[in-house]
A and B are shown apart, each in its own frame.
Chain A
């Protein structure tokens, strides 16, 4: 079974600085998707960024980028120019592509605090 591990229960960053959240996963599949979701205090799950495993290029969405290391099964999220609105829980998630299953497997999350 696939597992996702986020080793940092909490992280903090100063406003305008850069922070990196870590995620590792375990799978025997060769093709899959990886995601980072943001959950603010409102509880709403918001997709931040996704990465297809077959793509070597790291995904980027504005201030958010990932460092995808397939061999190491690592998928970290970098937030540049941190803003107060970035404060939230961040979840790393995995989804296989084979078999048509859309099931997401989540890590336990990292709570990000942004200090003014």
Chain B
């Protein structure tokens, strides 16, 4: 099992540019999460999907951020236009959501380090 795959691992862009981060969850997992990690705010959930449907996007900072999950094996997080304060490490995680309230471990990808100049 390759684990959760994220690309790119590093992204450097200029303010105002569009940025797209990609995630491939573990095969068979039906829930996917996007987290952002910064020094100031720590790790915070941006959005999560269950069966490709966005369930909770309350953590998405503003309209410049959007996320899609067109199928069970792929998700994107897009920032347009990007700003220097978006610089952070973005993690994708997936889970095989079983019965409600049962324990299911979240598996994290290696993260994408985004730098906006």
Q: Chain B: interface residue count, which band?
A: 20 to 34
Q: Chain A: interface residue count, which band?
A: 20 to 34
CB distance from A95 to the nearest CB of B (A): 9
Taking chain A's interface residues, is the majority helix, strand, or loop, or is none over half, making it mixed?
loop
1/0 contact string of A9-43 vs chain B (CB within 8 Å): 00000000000000000000001010000000011
Once the chains bind, are B89 and A47 in contact (CB under 8 Å)? no
Assess whether A56 is interfacial by the CB under 8 Å rule: no
Q: A107 vs B104: C-alpha distance in the bound complex, in angstroms? A: 20
Q: A99 vs B93: C-alpha distance in the bound complex, in angstroms? A: 20
Q: A100 vs B48: C-alpha distance in the bound complex, in angstroms? A: 12
**B95 to chain A: closest residue by CB:** A102
Residues in B48-76 with C-beta less than 8 Å from chain A? 48, 55-56
CB distance from A7 to the nearest CB of B (A): 14
Once the chains bind, are B106 and A104 in contact (CB under 8 Å)? yes
Once the chains bind, are B44 and A97 in contact (CB under 8 Å)? no
Q: A45 vs B89: C-alpha distance in the bound complex, in angstroms? A: 12
Q: A46 vs B91: C-alpha distance in the bound complex, in angstroms? A: 13
Assess whether A101 is interfacial by the CB under 8 Å rule: yes
Once the chains bind, are B110 and A43 in contact (CB under 8 Å)? yes
1/0 contact string of A100-116 vs chain B (CB within 8 Å): 11111111110000000
1/0 contact string of A42-68 vs chain B (CB within 8 Å): 111101001010000000000000000
Given contact pairs A43-B113, A103-B45, enumerate 20 new A-B contacts (beta carbons under 8 Å).
A33-B103, A43-B89, A43-B110, A43-B111, A44-B111, A45-B91, A50-B103, A50-B105, A97-B101, A100-B100, A100-B101, A101-B55, A101-B56, A102-B31, A102-B48, A102-B97, A103-B56, A104-B33, A105-B45, A106-B43
